[in-house]
Amino acid sequence: MSHDADKISDMVKRVVKAIFCLDGKEVTRETNFREDLIADTLDMVDVIMEVEYQLNALSSGEGVIIIPEELCDKISTVGDLIDAAKKVMGV
């Protein structure tokens, strides 16, 4: 995994921990938003928007980074969100 991929993965996990108040708990690629974190649609919007915000902060300012709806619809685990973030960043 490249350095950029590691940064994205770590960032997504930090965002998930912060939004779901998971201090001290492990978040893995297999963590399921609905089953493990009892996330609803609004929670998912919050997580995705914060990840987009963080991706824009990581980028070199070459436009606004948005995770497309077709990718958002397929996100059920933290790993899915990491993969979507990597895809939009070209990693």
Q: Which residues pair with 8 in a beta bridge?
A: none
Active site residue 4: no
How far apart are the C-alpha atoms of 13 and 11, rounded to whole Å? 5
Check if the beta carbon of residue 42 is closer than 8 Å to that of residue 7. no
Backbone angles phi, psi at 13, to 5 degrees: -65, -40
Other beta carbons within 10 angstroms of residue 90's beta carbon come to 7
Of 40, 43, 73, 83, the catalytic one is: 40
The residues that are catalytic are: 40
